[in-house]
Amino acid sequence: MNTNQAAQTISEKFEGTTVLEFRGEHTVTVAPADFRLVMEYCKNELDFDMLLDASSVDNSGDDPRFALVYELATLDDSVHLRVKTHIAESEEVPTVSDLWATADWHEREIWDMMGIKFSGHPDLRRILMWEGYTYHPLRKEFPLAGKPSEMPDVAFTGEAPLEGGPFVTSAGAGSRVKAEPRAK
């Protein structure tokens, strides 16, 4: 099976699915209601053993607002497929972390940065921002300069905490061997 055949198979099996081929890459866009079924079909019937990436796009001003994009591949890395769905701001999407373990952290990052919730996710909590942070920084309305927070400015303490320590490379040591921490 090649990518085109996989995309066409999904298109024939799931009504309302569109296939876009651009520069040799195939994107299958599915309805949110069919998303979980399509992903199960990709895993169980089409043998997409790897979830390479999951991401999201904020199309602020459009309805539906968000696009979820999952990159799938076969174990021998010969077939790649992009599965995409568009969801409204208030919609939840079923998790696929039970199908591919790698989806766990990808979906947590999407929740953290965009605020898209995944129903059935085993551990949907922040992964990059701290717990209690009320914003989702990759949304379009989030200001580029950021928002004030209660966190201390630990990055600007004036003194590098590991400066000269045993695990820091030495700049200007003459050679890479002498600069390595093991050389100290």
pLDDT averaged over every residue in the chain? 88
Residue 157 has pLDDT above 80, yes or no: no
What gap in Å lies between CA 162 and CA 183, rounded to an integer? 16
pTM: 0.80
Query: How large is the average pLDDT for residues 163-182?
Result: 63
Would you list the DSSP string of 5-22? HHHHHHHHHSTT-EEEEE
pLDDT of residue 175: 73
User: Running DSSP on this structure, what letter comes out for residue 41?
Assistant: H
Residue 176 has pLDDT above 90, yes or no: no
Residue 82 contacts residue 27 (beta carbons within 8 Å) = yes
Residue 30 contacts residue 19 (beta carbons within 8 Å) = no
User: And the tokens for 120?
Assistant: 């059935």
Q: Does domain 3-148 have CATH number 3.40.50.300?
A: no
pLDDT of residue 130: 86
What gap in Å lies between CA 59 and CA 55, rounded to an integer? 13
* pLDDT classification of 132: cutoffs 50, 70, 90: confident
Amino acid (1-letter code) at residue 155: A
pLDDT digit string, tens, across residues 33-48: 999 999 999 999 999 9
Structural domain spans, the chain: 3-148, 152-184
Residue spans of beta strands (DSSP E) within the chain: 18-22, 25-30, 50-58, 66-73, 80-87, 92-94, 117-119
